[in-house]
Amino acid sequence: MAIPIYFFRKYKTGLVQSTLVATVRMIVQLVLIGLYLKYLFQYNLWYVNLLWGIIMCAVATFTCVQRTHIRRSILLVPVTIGFLTTALLISIYFLALVLRLHESMNINLSLDLLFSARYFIPIFGLLLGNMLGVNVLALTTYYEGIQRERQMYDYMLGNGATRWEATAPFLSAAIRKAFIPCIANMMVMGIVALPGTMIGQILGGSDPNIAIKYQMMIVVITFVASIISLMATVALANRRSFDKYGRLIEVFGK
Amino acid sequence: MLKISKVSLSYGSKQVLRDVSFHLERGELGCVMGESGCGKTTLLRTVMGFEEFSSGCIEVDGFVVSPPTIDSLRQRIAYLPQELSLPSPTVWDMVRLPFSFKANKGVELTEDLLLREWSLLGLEPRLLSHSPNAISVGQRQRIMLSVCGLLGKPLIITDEPTSALDNDTTLIVANYMKMLARERNAAVLAVTHSHILADQCDKTLHL
């Protein structure tokens, strides 16, 4: 870390302190999580794992609201619902219907299996991480767009557009901005960038072909979860973002 | 068609509109005039439901401006804000936008119909494939006015449609707006500083 800090200081970027704080936080958090996960995996109780998933979701929600700078009263509930329902549904779908854990283990499908620490926590975390990045970028672009192009928004409403029709171009721009990096990443996956899940599996001793299959499935579910969570969040947040005349209220602030 | 009765509006302690009354019937061309900052645009935005008035009443085609009726009311209006700029790839895309709304699904738009309107407004057909950024503000104003004409709504509201035009072109636009009122039976209301346009109007509201 001395090298980046040297350049940050040399070019007076103002990033030295935040880099040091972030590094210390990362170490402390990961050590604590490591300790926690050890017990989580050891006891492996489905309701404790689910509770941990909900805590992860709460942290992701607060981080999302904080980074977008959109008022909590508007975004907190929509993001919570969007993240939690999407991550739960996609995790369950992936574990029960795609991986078919119960069939490969020759046991009955149960809550213990669906919410087992070994499968549920990593998948749930992976989904939340991707949804967080996409939602922050898309929600910021969406609301900034409507605010900046208010005349265009008014033009559409004033010529008979429904609120959904009038917000559609802004949502389209937000989706493009958030998903173009994901698509670009997919384009070069395996050639320029070797993805994390695959590397982790290979380093852990898995057959590369199995690792590639997992990677493909992970890419697809994170992509799908990101768009579903965004659509759910926007649909719910729209109800709180506009007044009775369809005008965007003051969304940015605390 | 449009009835504005004793409308007042304040921003905090600043009174922008005080007891404003005006009415406009179908077949009439009206304008709102006054010094900059006197509330002309605010009045138009109030009719559209974009600004809330503190007292009085506004009716459009029998619909009172209020939250439950605002969607129905806006479906009866063609609205052109001042110096509108839409991020469309071509002028044709820019023109088509309001025709894609569910409320305007039954309204026909073809190149022929559009070019017929353009010929009345002194616009050249070649502009159709241009980027909206590559045309002048005055051309854009006339193009968007032609859209208002084609939407066929009973009330047309425009904000300074001639602000970027020379006198001759302003007269062309004024005659076009008069035609919309007389021949297509619309009520046409414009905010303007132009006396050329005001001279063609049946009614003028001075703020």
Tens digits of residue pLDDT in B190-199: 999 999 999 9
Which alpha helices (DSSP H) does chain A contain, by range? 2-10, 16-43, 46-68, 72-92, 101-105, 111-114, 117-148, 150-158, 163-188, 196-203, 208-241
pLDDT value of position B165: 92
Q: Hey, which bits of B39-138 come out as E strands?
A: 55-60, 63-64, 77-80
Say yes or no for a CB contact (<8 Å) between A154 and B48. yes
Interface contact A161, partner B, CB < 8 A: yes
Query: Where does residue B45 rank: exposed (0-12), middle (13-18), buried (19+ CB within 10 A)?
Result: buried
- pLDDT, tens digit, for every residue of B28-78? 999 999 999 899 999 999 999 999 999 999 999 999 999 999 999 999 999
Write out the residues of chain B at the interface with chain A, using a CB-CB cutoff of 8 A. Answer: 45, 48-50, 52, 67, 70-71, 74-75, 77-81, 84-87, 97-98, 100-104, 151, 157
Confidence band for B87, pLDDT divided at 50, 70 and 90: confident
Q: What is the pLDDT of residue B160?
A: 94
- Of A41-45, A121-125, B116-120, B184-188, where does mean pLDDT reach its minimum? A41-45
Distance from CA of B151 to the nearest CA of A (A): 9
Contacts of B103 in chain A (CB under 8 A): 160-162
**Rounded Cα gap, residues A200 and A67, in angstroms:** 29
**Residue A1 has what DSSP assignment?**
-
Residue range B12-18: average pLDDT? 90
Q: In this predicted structure, what is the pLDDT of residue B86?
A: 86
C-alpha separations of B150 from A145, A228, B65 in Å: 28, 38, 24
> Quick one: pLDDT at residue B196?
95
pLDDT of residue B13: 87
Looking at residue A209, its pLDDT comes to: 85
What pLDDT tens digit does each residue of chain A (254 aa) get? 899 999 999 999 999 999 999 999 999 988 998 888 888 888 889 999 999 999 999 999 999 999 999 999 999 999 999 999 999 999 999 999 988 877 877 888 888 888 998 889 999 999 999 999 999 999 999 999 999 999 999 999 999 999 999 999 999 999 999 999 989 988 888 777 777 777 887 888 888 888 888 888 999 999 999 999 999 999 999 999 999 999 999 999 87
Q: Does the beta carbon of A158 lie under 8 angstroms from any beta carbon of chain B?
A: yes
Chain B contacts of A156, Cβ < 8 Å?
Answer: 97-98, 101
pLDDT of residue B2: 95
Predicted local confidence at residue B23, as pLDDT:
94
Q: Whole-prediction pTM value?
A: 0.87
Query: What pLDDT does residue A194 have?
Result: 73
